Each structure stands twice: as C-alpha cells, then as structure tokens.
Structure 1
C-alpha cells in the first residue's frame, strides 16, 4: 500500500492520520488487531476504526489479501454493504476507517434470540437484503466467498451490512480454484476441489437462511470429514417447524450443481420472501 489517502465527499483527496480521530471503546477483536469506536475530530462523524498489526499480517502472509480487500470494499456503494471510507498506516499498524454499525455482529444477535434462531419474517428481510447486496457485488464482478453471520453487521435501524471482504475476489471472467471461506458454508464445488464462480455465494445464502431459521448450519457435524461428506451429498434435513415456503427457497439454493441454484433475482422474487415481507399483498 503506497498511499494513505481517501476521497472525501467533495472529490478532493484527504490524507488521514490517527490525529484526525478521537478513539473510544473497543467494538471487537479480530485475528490481526482490534476495532474501536472513533470520531473524526472536525466533523464529529462517528466511524469504526479497525487497527491491524503489520507484523501479524506479515507473519500470516496476508498483506496481499488486505490490499485486495481494501481495493474491493473501497469501491462498493450499497446500503447493505459496510462502507470503507479510507485507510492510513504508521510504522507498525494499518488502520481502516469503516462505517459504524451500531447493533454489531449479526452472529451475536442470532445467538441471543430465543432458541438461537430468527422468525421467518425477520429471516426473509435479511435474506432479501443480502441477496440485493450480493447482486450488486456480482454486477461489479466481485464474488464474496465467505458469507456467514460473523461477517455481517447490523446498523442502528437493524438493516444488514456485509462487513468482511477478506476472501473476496474481483473475477471478471475466470473460474477460480482457491479453497477459502468457512467449512460449514463451503459449497460442493469447493469441497470437491473443482473450479468455482459467483454461484458459491448462492449456496451461502441457502446455508445462512437455514441457520437463521434453525439455529445451526445444515451440514454441521462432529468432524470436518463428516461435514465435507454431508456437503458433497447435499445431505439436507429440515426440522418440522419450517414452513413449506422456507424449505422450498433453501432447497432451491442448496443444489449440488452451481448452475441449478436459484439466481439472486429469483431469491428476491421467491413467493416465500414476498409473502413474509408483504403479508397483505
């Protein structure tokens, strides 16, 4: 990274440093550093300041991944994608200036629910927002590849924000073969070592919808080997409390063949989503 500049709203270049911010309480702890609540001194604008230690990034050999993450996220503008306003660095640390999502991690909100799951109406709202955000990403040739509750935040109004683009790629045409993401959310093509494309994100939506409604991912098992096997066979079992509409949406997304998965437009228009969000319609 050879610059610590970012565009402000007037289109001029702004050079940031730690002196521009009043740093407050910690919001969370990441693998390579911490996230803090912060306020820009002049405008009083509230942000989340993510501090990463260069030594830890180098040790894990992920500097290239961070560069790619910054490049991708800084260029995305969507109401359900967390804004990356800019970044700067000093001798030992890299700082990302991020949009502040007041309700925090969706994962923690999910865990705090009765029975550890959301009702169908709330799930439908999140799945719609997620699908619209991923549709925007795919239109920009960005594949996310690591959709899971830990990588999603909620803002003050309770709207969903995709927050972590660490495994994302800008992939205009080629198929990719990197095994990445989190085991419970990996699609069959990744598990089986085949090439993959943006359809991996469709599978993740299906897994997420299932976890929102049931409290755990559909292929979760005692061992990694067992999880791999279940994913590869699409060994999908639904609890009895799920409505036929929810089961239909999930089973249309969790298809072994990437080509057979319901596309994002289809998710947004699915009768169950429409019914949940427009009960009178």
Structure 2
C-alpha cells in the first residue's frame, strides 16, 4: 500500500506501519486525516470468502457494543475489492510486547509492571461486565499509556474474536486457554480471558509466557504449575496468584478477572 488511503469522501495519509502480516493478510496503520489533521488507527484485512467478511462485520459490532472509553470504536467501515477497511479511534501508547521484553531491573520497576497488570485486569473485568469475552488477550493486544514515568491507562485492542462463533482452535499459542485448543465441546467462560491475562502477567515479569504443555491424557499440565512458576524466578505471592489463573481445568481456575484484580491490588499494597 502506498502512502495514501482513499476512503469514501476523504483521504488519509499513512504515518506509521504498525504491523503487516502476509500470513493473516492483516495490516494496521497509524493514519492522518489530511483535512482535519487528526490521527486514527486503520486496520486493513484482505478477505476471500463470505464467512471471513461476516467475521469482520462481527468485529465492528463487538467494538461498537462496548461502552465509550473501554476500547477503540470503529468510526467507519468500507470495502474496496477484497480489502476491508476499519477506521478506529487512535490510541496513543505502546503494546506490552514492545515495552517489557526483559525482566525488571529493580523492585520499583517490578511494582510498576504489577500496576500495569492490575489495570489490565480491571479493563478485562469491565469488558466481562457487559457480557463479552475478548478471547485473544496477549502482550501485542494490550496498550499501555504512560504520562512521564507513570502508568496512565491500559487498554485492549483487536476484538476480532469477541463476537465470533467458535472455531476448531482459536487464540494465540501459549496465551490461549486449553479449552480454546483442545476441548471444542466446552462452553467458553470468563476463565479463558483470566488464563490469557495470567500469561500476559508472566510476560510482564519475565519477558515470555510460561511454557506449558498438556500431559498424555490431556487433562492437566505435564508439570505442576507451582514448580514451573517457581523455576521462572517469580515471587512466591505472585506464583500463588498465577497458579490459580493458569489451571488446566477451567472448573479449577480462577473464574473472574475482578477477583484477580482485587488480589493484585492487595499484592501492590505489600
């Protein structure tokens, strides 16, 4: 795509390429309204079939179902050939995946990352209150807004799965709950987002998700969670908390992001 995007009745100039994936045929740009000088996010998806087009429309519906301020709204949607365009509110900030690639270098830095985690769980709890599941929470989809050295806000992006019917497998490896890849018959609950959030918190502290693999009977992890978490060098209180959210069995997993949020608040007070 060249530097100019022609939408119905108005043109946008590409200011920054945020990602361009040839496999998924999805691109995301920071664009500028040439006439007004305002910035927006522009998601471009190349689609070959009716079902995929329906999924894009479901994503637009999901975004605009959420209350104001909870996620970027889709302001305009149009189609040119196989290209589907979603013009979104621009969110200033950086994804967790870009901000935190190494372990914290001090106790103060670790506390700041736990604050990011607490604000993330609050955001997820807000989404669950309006009866929506994100279903693909990962560091790339969590935007942190800073004000100087202080965490101002944390927002979720990419609600592409939130309003879709279940596929054989969904989500992102390591961040997807087991029932999203192994148990098609299980009804998804808030626990899938709790699992993904806990893996994202692990990334916040260590720079990578916890490496988990199912046992031979696909009914639990091959290694005890406490052992795997301790080997990551995570503190005992955080190990206890993450173990609750990373349980293989959704019935044994921490069920609500609001509960995870409250426990993180208590951890931050120590």
TM range (shorter): 0.7 to 0.9
> Are 1:233 and 2:220 counterparts?
yes
Structure 1, unpaired ranges of 5+: 1-15, 221-226
> Are 1:102 and 2:92 counterparts?
yes
In 1: Cα distance, 2:232 partner to 2:17 partner? 41
In 2: Cα distance, 1:46 partner to 1:211 partner? 30
In 2: Cα distance, 1:95 partner to 1:155 partner? 25
> Are 1:197 and 2:191 counterparts?
no
Q: CA deviation at 1:147?
A: 1.0
Tell me the equivalent position of 1:131: 121
Change (3 A) 1:46 1:245: same
In 2: Cα distance, 1:70 partner to 1:268 partner? 28
2:75 touches 2:88 (CA, 8 Å); kept in 1? yes
1:154 counterpart SS class: strand
Q: Choose 249-258 or 231-240, whichever is displaced more.
A: 231-240
- 2:136 equivalent among 139, 142, 146: 146
- Over aligned residue pairs, what C-alpha RMSD do you find? 3.1
- 1:210 equivalent among 190, 197, 202: 202
Tell me the equivalent position of 2:3: none
Change (3 A) 1:142 1:39: same
In 1: Cα distance, 2:251 partner to 2:121 partner? 17
The 5 Å alignment of 1:111-122 reads 111=101, 119-122=109-112
Structure 2, unpaired ranges of 5+: 1-6
Tell me the equivalent position of 2:257: 264
Q: Structure 1 length as normaliser, TM-score?
A: 0.74
Q: Structure 2 length as normaliser, TM-score?
A: 0.77
1:142 counterpart SS class: coil
Count residues with an aligned counterpart.
247
Runs ≥4 residues deviating over 4 A = 112-115
Change (3 A) 1:26 1:156: farther
In 1: Cα distance, 2:37 partner to 2:27 partner? 21
Change (3 A) 1:84 1:207: same
Q: Choose 121-130 or 62-71, whichever is displaced more.
A: 121-130
